[in-house]
Structure 1
Amino acid sequence: MKIEDHLASEEYRRGATTLRGRHVPTTTTDQRLLDKAQDTDWVHTDPWRVMRITAEFVEGFGSLAELGPAVSVFGSARLKPDSRYYAAGVELGKLLVEAGYAVITGGGPGAMEAANKGANESGGTSVGLGIELPFEAGLNPYVDLGVNFRYFFVRKTMFVKYAQGYVVLPGGFGTLDELFEAVTLAQTQKITSFPIVLLGTSFWTPMIDWIRHTLLVEGMISDGDVERLHLVDEPADAVRLIVRDDVRLAQTRPE
């Protein structure tokens, strides 16, 4: 199905607004912000965009400020329910709730839906941070606290600010973007004691090998940067690493 056909037949969310039929836009807010092919009207409209961006930060902070301990889970939106990684995502969501964490995802299908499902069905808090995209409509049905964003950079802030760590299931460009965003923030000490766990060793090992044998050997990163990434195969091991780092951080806090 072409994107145009999909948009014409589906519900579309833009922030707090729901659009259908002929009201569905052909571009997103992010796209219009970043598109250089604009006329000089941007001089007059961009200052107003700042207010909209500020409003998104306020909405996100207000919705999540009392969330409590949480873990952000990432992975492909393309994972099918019969995938072993989908099953791992459901188990991960369940175990995180049992360990006392809320589960934060991007609110979409695939791996995100799996983690939300595990959290929701275990009686925990299941958070979805949605984003305005031309090919996704709404949050998955397992989200019980959802916030929709227009801007990726605002949404990314929420993923990091309200989480004690990341667990990353197999995924594509979007998943890699979130992963390396977190690694960069940890490397530059913008965030500290922030475990990053990669679930699925057969999927992630080739990337880790390239990081270790190319980036590290060429002097682009240090040994400690590689050690920030933990590879596991079992959801229980991922949760154990998150809890271990959480306990370690609590022990180092001043009385």
Structure 2
Amino acid sequence: MPNSPDEIETLDEFDQVITGRSLRGFRLQGLDLTNRTDELLTADAADAVFLGCRLMPKAAAHIRAQGALVFPPVPHLPFDPYRGLLYTPEELFAGLGTGYGSTPDSLSYSWFQQTKHDGDILASMLRSIHDDHMSDALDELLVGKHVVGVMGGHALKRGTEAYAAAVRLGRQLAREGYTVATGGGPGAMEAANLGAYAAPFDDDMLDEALALVGKVPSFEPSVSDWAHAAFAVRERWPGGGDSVGIPTWFYGHEPPNAFAGHIAKYFANAIREDGLLARSNAAVVYLPGAAGTVQEIFDAATPNYYESRGEPVPMILVDREHWTERLPAWQLLTSLARGRSLERRIALVDEVGEVPAALARISAAG
């Protein structure tokens, strides 16, 4: 049945509901219903809402006559603003064989670049609708999940020990039953998603996977080569563990990584960042990063300080030298936390391998 009582997001869900001959009050999102005309012509569609669904003209006329509200698909877009599900890597990278520039991910970024400053209210509305649907789908996916967010910079290269350590962290968190969520991009983010993907496999798989992706250390200069290396791992070891990536087209130079099974990609970076942190309900781990990671530390510190979302979520910073000397965020964080509930919910560790123990210690302290 549908994910929510009144939402139909797949054809399988439509086929289950239509057996009762009533779509009354349902919201149907981004479906191709051109082969369901006979069913629609005999269904009660009063008060239903069709968001970007493809319909034959007679079916559209019939449901409108019954009082349904129909928002037609918007032509010539590289994305579906009404889609009801999160993206998969295969969807965003479709057409990669002819180059990254021809993929829906790259084309959507190009559309964003062309429209973000032109003041077109239609483009602005479409971006907002798309992002709202991403949030809705993300909420449905994560119901009841214990989510650990792993934050870190995009510059971390494959083939380094730091990258491998982040991979092992993602694998251990996934094996302990957590849902790993990252910013969905390259570097430390990809590493944590790869670790979650590797969770069902043995150490030999992990070593071989690291060697395979290590042949293309960075997405620069070629996103295509970088993505192909990731898909080579997925093809050699299908059925890996699941995780979530939450990237943004705002940072168009950062492609999404192919190891997150579910990708919530946003146009609005502010909504994306707040949503990622708000959904990390079990803990947030901060690997070494630059401005973006610093921002994420204090984006999380603010609601934790005021307890606006309830009990502060554990925050674990990794690499003492980085967070106390290069970018001394730890000193400010501890000053903010002093004398508050947040004080017992933060930790600074030297290495990635210490994170699980630190998380267990914080959790036990309550």
Q: TM-score, normalised by structure 2?
A: 0.53
Higher-Rg structure is: 2
Unaligned runs of 5+ in 2: 1-98, 201-240
| Structure 2 CA distance for aligned equivalents of residues 91 and 45 of structure 1 | 41
Deviation of residue 121 (structure 1)?
0.7
1:72 matches 2:142: no
1:10 matches 2:100: yes
CA contact (8 A) 1:26 1:134 kept: no
Match of 1:63 in 2: 141
1:238 matches 2:355: yes
117, 120, 126: which one aligns with 2:243:
126
Of Structure 1 and Structure 2, the greater strand share is in: 1
Match of 2:253 in 1: 135
> Quick one: structure 1 residues 149 and 209, their matched pair in 2 at CA, closer, same or farther if it must change by over 3 Å?
closer
Match of 1:205 in 2: 324
| Structure 2 CA distance for aligned equivalents of residues 118 and 45 of structure 1 | 37
| Structure 2 CA distance for aligned equivalents of residues 26 and 121 of structure 1 | 34
CA contact (8 A) 1:107 1:130 kept: yes
Unaligned runs of 5+ in 1: 1-8, 250-255
| Structure 2 CA distance for aligned equivalents of residues 109 and 50 of structure 1 | 25
CA contact (8 A) 1:95 1:235 kept: no
Per-residue displacement from partner, 1:91-147 (whole Å, max 9, x unpaired)? Answer: 21122123221211112111111111111111243221121132122x323222222
- The within-5 A match list for 1:42-53 is 42=121, 50-53=128-131
| Structure 1 CA distance for aligned equivalents of residues 359 and 157 of structure 2 | 26
Deviation of residue 73 (structure 1)?
0.2
Q: TM-score, normalised by structure 1?
A: 0.73
| Structure 1 CA distance for aligned equivalents of residues 290 and 125 of structure 2 | 34
| Structure 1 CA distance for aligned equivalents of residues 282 and 168 of structure 2 | 19
Amino acid at match of 1:170: P
> Quick one: structure 1 residues 26 and 55, their matched pair in 2 at CA, closer, same or farther if it must change by over 3 Å?
closer
Amino acid at match of 2:318: L
CA contact (8 A) 1:128 1:145 kept: yes
| Structure 1 CA distance for aligned equivalents of residues 330 and 141 of structure 2 | 39
What is the SS of the residue equivalent to 1:140?
coil
Deviation of residue 59 (structure 1)?
2.3
1:175 matches 2:293: yes
Amino acid at match of 1:119: A
Deviation of residue 172 (structure 1)?
1.0
| Structure 1 CA distance for aligned equivalents of residues 314 and 266 of structure 2 | 25
- What's the Cα RMSD here? 3.2
Per-residue displacement from partner, 1:127-182 (whole Å, max 9, x unpaired)? Answer: 21121132122x32322222222222332314322431101000011111111111
- The within-5 A match list for 1:64-103 is 64-65=142-143, 68-103=145-180
Moved over 3 A (4+): 9-13, 17-20, 26-29, 44-53, 224-229, 244-249
Alignment: residue pair count? 222
| Structure 2 CA distance for aligned equivalents of residues 97 and 160 of structure 1 | 19
| Structure 2 CA distance for aligned equivalents of residues 146 and 48 of structure 1 | 19
> Quick one: structure 1 residues 222 and 235, their matched pair in 2 at CA, closer, same or farther if it must change by over 3 Å?
closer
Amino acid at match of 1:241: A
What is the SS of the residue equivalent to 1:130?
coil
Match of 1:3 in 2: none
| Structure 2 CA distance for aligned equivalents of residues 47 and 146 of structure 1 | 21
CA contact (8 A) 2:197 2:260 kept: yes
Higher-RCO chain (CA-CA 8 Å, sequence separation at least 6): 1
Match of 1:25 in 2: 110
Amino acid at match of 1:146: I
Amino acid at match of 2:244: V
CA contact (8 A) 1:11 1:19 kept: yes
| Structure 1 CA distance for aligned equivalents of residues 276 and 109 of structure 2 | 26
| Structure 2 CA distance for aligned equivalents of residues 158 and 188 of structure 1 | 18
Amino acid at match of 1:155: R
